[in-house]
Amino acid sequence: MVMIPLLGTVLLSAQNKQILYDFYEIPQALMVNPGAKAQEKWHVGLPALSGISVQAGASGVSVNDLFANDGIDFNVKVRERVINALSERDDFSSTSQIELFNLGFRGKNRREDYYSFGMYTETDVIVYWPKDLAILAFEGNGGANIGRSFDLGHLNLRGEMVNVFHFGVNRKVNQELTLGLRAKLYSGVFQFKSTNNSGRFRTVPGQENTLENSIDADMQLQTAGVDGFLDIIDADTGNTSSEIQDLFTRRLFLGGNLGLGFDAGFTYQLNPQTTVTGSILDVGFIYNSKDIRNFTLRGSASNEGINVFLPEDIDNLGVDLWQELVDEIEAAVPFEENGQGYISFRPIKIYGSIRYDFGEGSSKTSRIDCGCAINVARGNSGSYYRNSIGGQMFLLKRPLGIQPALTGFYQRRLGKSLSIKTTYTVDKYSFSNVGLGINLQAGPVNFYILGDNLLSYQNIADSRYASLQFGFNIISWNGN
Amino acid sequence: MRTTSSLCFAILFCLFFFPSCSEEQDFDQFDDLSITPAIASSIFSVEASEDFINSVSTLSAFYTQTFVFEAFNEQFVAERLLEGNITYDFENSTSKPINIIIEFLDEGGNVLDFESFDIAAGPGEMVSRTVDYGPNGKPLFLLTNTANLRLTGRNLGDNTSVSTEPEAKFIMKSAAEFLFQLVE
């Protein structure tokens, strides 16, 4: 069980989209800041191809650390690089997002408003390294571990797949300020979480016998939507694939557990060349009431084996002493199931940035002929600056606290058709994360591709973080 | 301008389209993974007061008890048991020597193995005996086929003498520590 996260190492991640953030030439920038500078008259994302992102990261170990063909015994590598090296705060995580459609248009009557809506499917899983449980599994409670207290609270994991229907309004309040708000309706496919566990297990020299094993547990695993899929697989009717597909589709389109949320953001121009932005995403929840199966392990017990005191117990002894002992422990620390609904909160994300534009273009560039002219400020818009430099901050609410990331970036606009953004990001996954984003505009056709941690491509298996986003859009700035 | 654009395109080309590399990986190594935790637990203990031992005729055992003990013959455990030991600790502060016999019985009640310990009259130091199982000890099947344990305690002395120790008693403790092959 403890090796399962390792198998997922290749798929690990955070949710930071630092290259896309404030890359306002790309319509999908509105998805990470609904208050970004929307410039288009309208845009249409190519269905299922307008926004695809896959991110993966592991904070403590890479595929190469374990599976490099280096002649070192695999068990030694696991022991030295995983069991003895990872802490309970190291995680394995993965996030993917597929935009099924994304549309936007400027209001006819309110030209300062840009409306966007769409639907995307997001899968997000994070598993923290269950350090003490892993040590217990690998080494046991005997030998040098007698006296050690194993923290059961090291079990922390969370995962979900949701389909998100969203509608956002982006309003240019004045020349300096743009605000945005996006409402979200979540349709859950599945969800599971085991967080806020506590307790301990330990083996110490006993009073009545040689050793005393004691457990004090308050643990819970909540699942929603998982059992339905497992039931289909178990039933194995010969039609498993289509049954899973049907259930999956039903869940995607509001047939599962539902929830609500919102995003909010702003862009504020401090002066013609300096802009600050901020956004908060996925402030929301899903109420899980369907297809619930929860597991709990709660209670306290200690045992020193079968203890017979003579003469007190001479008449109380049966042949099933061992089974009675086992039953006693199971009664004291019952492993139980229930179907109680629960609320799961979405992982909240916060972005902030400051950008300085410089290098005024010699000719009026991309958006001067925009039919809307909304974000062209007094003929001196930031769009006319070829270069931007700045810093970004990202905060993500995770089961064990806030996960931060800091990014420095440089953006260069080359004529009407090309814009590139390079980033350097520091977070728990990497101190050498250099990313690059390209936005290409060929007439109304827009294509973007954003790649992260490019230096790790020299040995991709040694990377602890990787992400890729790309998409196609049709964009109009005027009547065409 | 053209030069700048060309340079940028060259960089982009290198970064995005340059084939990424990877050291050779051998995922079959996962098959070599071996997880062998050492599990430790007490098994049973007996504490008998000297008064109680004296109350029983020396011709018969002051204590005999058979109880179901299937900790090792559960299929999951039996298939994964590698090696280990059982440690017996004895403390005797009574005035008489004590003999303890632990018999390992199969499901039919047949004796597979036994351990016999003679503990000198007390007071004395704690006596500890370790019995190894596995490649360097007794065969594991003795444990994996054990369904019951029979514990017998005999007074090898008289039943009238009284120790000068306060609250004189005979104590036997036992614990096992075994390696299991969870993953191979």
pLDDT digits (tens, 9 = 90+) for A372-407: 444 443 334 445 788 999 999 999 998 888 999 999
Q: What does the pLDDT average to over A288-303?
A: 95
Tell me which chain A residues have a C-beta less than 8 angstroms from the C-beta of B1: 415
Say if residue A43 is exposed, middle or buried (CB neighbours under 10 Å; 0-12, 13-18, 19+): buried
pLDDT for the residue A20: 92
Q: Name, in order, each residue with C-beta under 8 angstroms of A375's C-beta and a sequence gap of 6 or more.
A: A37, A38, A39, A172, A178, A367, A381, A383
pLDDT band with cut points at 50, 70 and 90 for residue A93:
confident
* Mean pLDDT score, A154-160: 95
Distance from A84 to chain B by nearest Cα, in Å? 14
Q: What is the pLDDT of residue A424?
A: 95
Strands lying side by side in the sheet with B81-92:
A306-310, B38-49, B169-180, B81-92, B127-133
Q: pLDDT class for A21, splitting at 50, 70, 90?
A: very high
Q: How confident is the model at residue A370 (pLDDT cuts 50, 70, 90)?
A: very low
Range name among A286-300, A333-347, B48-62, B116-130 with the lowest pLDDT average: B48-62
Contact A425, A16 (CB under 8 A): yes
**Tokens 């068990």, residue located:** A75
What does residue A126 show for φ and ψ, rounded to 5 degrees? Answer: -135, 130
Provide mean pLDDT across the span B13-39. 76
Average pLDDT over residues A446-454: 87
ipTM of the predicted structure? 0.83
Q: What is the mean pLDDT of residues A407-424?
A: 90
Q: Is the pLDDT of residue B17 over 60?
A: no
At B145, the pLDDT band (50, 70, 90 cuts) reads: very high
- A190 and A160 in contact (C-beta within 8 Å)? yes
Instruction: Render pLDDT for A220-232 as a digit per residue (tens, 0 to 9).
Output: 999 999 999 999 9
pLDDT exceeds cutoff 50 at A365 = no
- Residues in chain B with CB shorter than 8 Å from the CB of A66 are 29
The residue-averaged pLDDT of A290-300 equals 95
Asked whether the predicted pLDDT for residue B128 surpasses 60, the reply is yes
Tell me the mean pLDDT in the region A74-93: 89
Mean pLDDT of A337-350: 95
Percent of chain A with pLDDT over 70: 89
For A465, what's the count of Cα atoms within 13 Å in the CB-facing half-sphere?
25
pLDDT attached to residue A25: 87
Amino acid (1-letter code) at residue A206: G
Q: What is the pTM of this model?
A: 0.82
- Please indicate whether, in this complex, the C-beta atoms of B89 and A307 are within 8 angstroms of each other: no
Using the Cα atoms of residue A145, residue A147, residue A148 and residue A151 in order, give the sign of their dihedral: positive
What is the least distance, in Å, from the CA of A304 to any CA of chain B?
5
Q: What is residue A9's predicted lDDT score, i.e. its pLDDT?
A: 33
Q: What is the pLDDT of residues B52-111, one digit of tens each?
A: 888 887 667 888 888 888 888 888 888 889 999 999 999 999 999 999 999 999 999 899
Nearest to B122 by CA among B95, B158, B159: B95
pLDDT at B14: 54
Q: Is the pLDDT of residue A255 over 50?
A: yes
pLDDT at B183: 75
CA torsion A108→A110→A113→A118, rounded to 10°? -40
Copy the structure tokens of residue A269.
């121009």
- Residues in chain B closer than 8 A to A141 (CB atoms): 37-40
Residue B124 has pLDDT above 60, yes or no: yes
Lowest-confidence segment of A95-99, A251-255, A368-372 by average pLDDT? A368-372
pLDDT score of A275 more than 70: yes
Interface check A67 vs B, CB under 8 A: yes
Average pLDDT in the A136-143 region? 93
pLDDT for A3 equals 40
* CB contact residues (below 8 A), chain A span 201-230, against chain B: 203, 206, 208-213
pLDDT at residue A372, rounded to an integer: 44
Q: Are A67 and B27 in contact (CB under 8 A)?
A: yes
- Do residue A141 and residue B44 have CB atoms under 8 angstroms apart? no
At A10, give phi and psi (nearest 5°): -65, -10
Q: Is the pLDDT of residue A478 over 70?
A: no
Pairing of strands A113-128, A157-172: antiparallel
Interface check B3 vs A, CB under 8 A = no
B33·A307 Cβ contact <8 A? no
Looking at every residue in chain B, the average pLDDT score rounds to 85
Q: Locate the chain A residue with the closest alpha carbon to B5.
A: A414
* pLDDT score of A346: 94
Supply the mean pLDDT for chain A. 86
Q: Mean pLDDT across the stretch A409-428?
A: 90
pLDDT at residue B15, as a whole number: 57
Q: What is the pLDDT, as a whole number, of residue A183?
A: 97
Question: What was the pLDDT predicted at A265?
Answer: 97
Predicted local distance difference test score (pLDDT) of residue A7: 35
Residue B1, pLDDT > 70, answer: no
B123 prior amide bond cis, ω within 30: yes
A-chain residue closest to B28, CA distance: A67
| Cα–Cα distance measured from residue A460 to residue A71, given in angstroms and rounded to the nearest whole number | 20
Closest-CA residue to A67 (of B22, B35, B20, B30): B30
- Would you state the pLDDT for residue A149? 96
Lowest mean pLDDT among A11-15, A297-301, B32-36: A11-15
Best mutation site among A73, A146, A214, A310 for testing chain B: the one with the most B CBs within 10 Å? Answer: A310
pLDDT of A379 reads: 38
